[in-house]
Amino acid sequence: MKNLTQEQWKESLEKDDNAQILDVRTEEEYIEGYIPNSKNIDIYKGQGFIDEINQLDKSKNYYVYCRSGARSAQACALMNQQGIENAYNLMGGITEWEGEVNHQ
């Protein structure tokens, strides 16, 4: 797991052809606003979260965020334990995100 600043995360993501963005907040939080092209998997689902993580392509690079960076750091650690080597945590989360945000 790597903790990346907003700038590092965005730069890495833009250069990465093998990237997948993961939002690990609740569905309610996700609907309020999310980074474009992100997939929502709620870390609060416990075993359900692990089950969904295990269905992901382990060869991809995952850019993970939440509201402030705490849940996403935990998610990255869990992803590493499940065999996903490249998980990048967005420090400060979507709260500090200065890039584009979509709303449902």
Extents of the domains making up the chain: 2-90
**Tens-digit pLDDT profile for residues 51-84:** 999 999 999 999 999 999 999 999 999 999 999 9
Instruction: Look up residue 54 and give its amino acid.
Output: N
Which pLDDT belongs to residue 104?
80
The active-site residue, picked from 66, 76, 90, 91, is 66
Query: What's the whole-model pTM score?
Result: 0.96
Assigned architecture for domain 2-90:
3-Layer(aba) Sandwich (3.40)
Query: Are 24 and 70 contacting, i.e. CB atoms less than 8 angstroms apart?
Result: no
Active site residue 66: yes
* Cβ 73 vs Cβ 3: under 8 Å: yes
